[in-house]
Amino acid sequence: MAKLTCVSTGSEVTNQIGSVTFSCPSCGKIKITRSQYAREIAAQYKCSGCGFTGPN
């Protein structure tokens, strides 16, 4: 099973409550994982595939 790490903080969020994984809203090809902490502080994320960045 692959470990999931938050794209904003780099912390491992595997099975962490409040973390989310979703497809990139721009290209839809890359799975983006964010920790609850990153969401709370509205940390910016960036898609590793297309370079899309967003707050949520």
For the CB of residue 32, give the shortest distance to Zn ion in the complex, in Å.
8
Alpha-carbon distance 38 to 47, whole Å? Answer: 15
Q: Which is nearer to Zn ion, 27 or 42 (CB)?
A: 27
Q: Which residues bind Zn ion (CB under 5 A)?
A: 24, 26-27, 30, 47, 49-50, 52
Least distance (Å) between residue 13 CB and Zn ion: 19
The helix (H) or strand (E) run that includes residue 42 is none
Closest residue by Cα to residue 12 from 2, 4, 22, 20: 4
**Smallest distance from the beta carbon of 39 to Zn ion, in angstroms?**
18
